Structure formats: C-alpha cells, structure tokens
Amino acid sequence: MRYTEHGIPYLALPPPHSNIRLTPPRKEDGPSVMAILNHPSVYMNLAGPPYPYTQTDWDTWYPELSEFTNKALWELQGAQDSLRNGEAKESDWKSRKWVGAGVPLSTIREVDHGTGEERLIGEINFRRREFLMILDVVEKKRVKEENDAREAGDPDIVWEIGFYLSPSCHGRGIMPAVVRTLIADFLVPYMNVHVMTGAYMDHNAASKKVLEKNGFIFDSLVPDCIEMLEVKTRVKGKKCKGREATADLALMSYICKDFVTESAKPKQLPNFNGSRRLSQEIAATADPSIDRLTIPVEE
C-alpha cells in the first residue's frame, strides 16, 4: 500500500504497468466514467450500469459509492492498526480486524510521471456477491442476506469481482495485472478473501481470459440470464431464444483454501494451484443453490 502526499492510499501495479494505480473514486470522475460507459465495446458487455450513462446517473450513484468507499477506508485503517499492534494470530482470523465492505481502491488511473497528471481508465468492483445467477428471487434474497451478514474477515464470505477499462486501453494486459495486484496486495492481506466469483456474458472472451489468467476456473452457465436493454440492442422483446435480446451468463470461480494472512506472508500471491471448482468445494455451505439453478425455458 502506498500513500499520496495527501495521505490517500493507493496501489501501484508492477512493471510494465507501473504508471497505473488503483485509487479511491472522486466526485469529478463523472465525465470520464460517462465517456467509457457509453462506448459500445464496454456497454454491450455490462449488465449493470444504466445506458446511456449520464451525468445525472453519476451524481445519483456517487454519494452511495463515496459512502461505501469511506466505510472500507475506515475499515482499512482498523485492519492496518490491528496488524501493527501484533493482534494477528495466523490460525485465528478473528484475532485481528479486516476490511469487510469491499475494495475502496476501485478506480483505475494512468499517471503521467512527467506531469503527474492522472487519467481515469477504468474501474474494478469487488463486493459481496449479488448472486445474479440465482433466478429464484426468494432464494437469492436468502443466500445474499446470509452472505452479507458474515463478519469482516470470515473466509466463507463469497465475493464477486467486476471490471471495465477504457477501449483505448484494451488488449494491453492491464486488467489481468490489476486483478493480480488486487489479490496479492489487498484481498488477501486486508480482507482474508478465500472465495471469489466473476460472472461475464458468455460472448465476452476477453473477460473470461482476465479471470483465467488469475486462476479462476469455469463453473457454470445460465442461458438467457441477462435481459439486454432494448436501447442497447435495438431489439424489442423480453427473454427469448434469440441471442440479441438476452445474454448467457457464465460464472467463473476462484477458491483457495491455502490463502495466508499478511502476518504470515505479506506479499505472497495466493497459490493458484489450490483453486477448485465452486460446485465441488463449497456449494453445500456457501452457495447451496448453485447446483440446482433453475434455467427458464421459454418458448
């Protein structure tokens, strides 16, 4: 973890991407976020944000984002104090404080080392899982509430990662490096993350690659899970068999029972060989519904 001269924490990527940082979001990021989210090679791969994405959308979203970020930054301070005070016992995660809200360093910026100027090039979200692939709303709510109620640092929390980059930065190997840095320098040492998932629309080969390069493995696929906005596809209609009005959602999961706390090995990457299929490892406890997803069949 590094700090700006104003004491704001950030993570820097290793070479060849050492001019890229993960920082907290800022209110003035709106126009840059709008420019990226309104590009078809980005919005066609995202289910979540509104489209077209407007300044009003950002102004509505930012207070929530800011509140969440401040909570996570406050938790980070507690986690760091707890480490400094030697409270951590390797065998007992409850013996120290952890960040439980999510990652507060969610904005990816490229820094011009000559001028010091920063350019927003993307975002990475890391939150407790939304369980988008569970289509039964009652079951989804139950599983989500159970996951949300887990204490910060609980290794059984199921997390979810999501990301996007400015089209001008695609194909430079940036996002795999961002995810790798985040795992090694934040998720393991400050959050005790053991179980992560990432979902992508099945047509999105680049997103799949990013996850694979970081040790995630394919878990399952739900056909026609995402209803694409008509304004994006120009196709009328709700869920149907056509691939334009809906998208298949694929799930990748990353599970490692061998993660270690920072007290033991501060900068070590998780052992990717320890990855196992979500359905084999934790379906019975963390996400019992995953093996019996109801896939809607629509005529």
Ligand X SMILES: CC(C)(COP(=O)(O)OP(=O)(O)OC[C@H]1O[C@@H](n2cnc3c(N)ncnc32)[C@H](O)[C@@H]1OP(=O)(O)O)[C@@H](O)C(=O)NCCC(=O)NCCS
Q: Which residues contact 232 (CB under 8 A, 6 or more apart)?
A: 43, 44, 51
172 contributes a contact to ligand X by CB under 6 A: yes
What binding mask, one character per residue, do residues 56-95 give for ligand X by CB under 6 A, x or -? ----------------------------------------
Stretch that binds ligand X, among 50-58, 60-68, 69-77, 204-212 (CB under 6 A): 204-212
- What residues between 41 and 60 interact with ligand X by CB under 6 A? 41-42, 45-46
State the Cα angle at 191 between 30 and 24, rounded to 5°: 20
175 contributes a contact to ligand X by CB under 6 A: yes
Q: Which is nearer to ligand X, 101 or 249 (CB)?
A: 249
Q: Which is nearer to ligand X, 41 or 280 (CB)?
A: 41
Q: Among candidates 59, 96, 65, 68, which has minimal Cα distance to 81?
A: 96
17 contributes a contact to ligand X by CB under 6 A: no
Looking at residue 252, the DSSP 8-state letter turns out to be: E
User: What one-letter code names the amino acid at 180?
Assistant: R
Q: Are strands 9-12 and 246-255 parallel, antiparallel or unpaired?
A: unpaired
Q: How far is the CB of 43 from ligand X (least distance, A)?
A: 8
Query: Total binding residues for ligand X by CB under 6 A?
Result: 21
Contact (CB, 8 A) for 161 and 152: no
Print burial letters for 62-84: b (CB count within 10 Å at least 16), e (below 16).
Answer: beebeebbeebbebbebbbebbe
Q: Which is nearer to ligand X, 79 or 174 (CB)?
A: 174
Residue of 138, 205, 236, 273 that binds ligand X (CB under 6 A): 205
Half-sphere exposure of 123 (CA within 13 A, CB side): 22
What binding mask, one character per residue, do residues 123-162 give for ligand X by CB under 6 A, x or -? ----------------------------------------
- For residue 130, the Cα-to-chain-centroid distance in whole angstroms is 11
Burial (CB < 10 A; 0-12, 13-18, 19+), residue 45, is middle
Residue of 17, 127, 142, 170 that binds ligand X (CB under 6 A): 170
> CA 123 to CA 204: how far, in whole Å?
17
3-state percent breakdown (helix, strand, coil) of the chain, nearest 5: 35, 20, 45
218 contributes a contact to ligand X by CB under 6 A: no
Residue of 76, 152, 165, 228 that binds ligand X (CB under 6 A): 165
Q: Which is nearer to ligand X, 80 or 204 (CB)?
A: 204
239 contributes a contact to ligand X by CB under 6 A: no
Q: Which is nearer to ligand X, 154 or 212 (CB)?
A: 212
User: What one-letter code names the amino acid at 295?
Assistant: I
Q: Which is nearer to ligand X, 45 or 95 (CB)?
A: 45
209 contributes a contact to ligand X by CB under 6 A: yes
Chain positions contacting ligand X, by CB under 6 A: 41-42, 45-46, 163-165, 170-176, 200, 204-207, 209-210
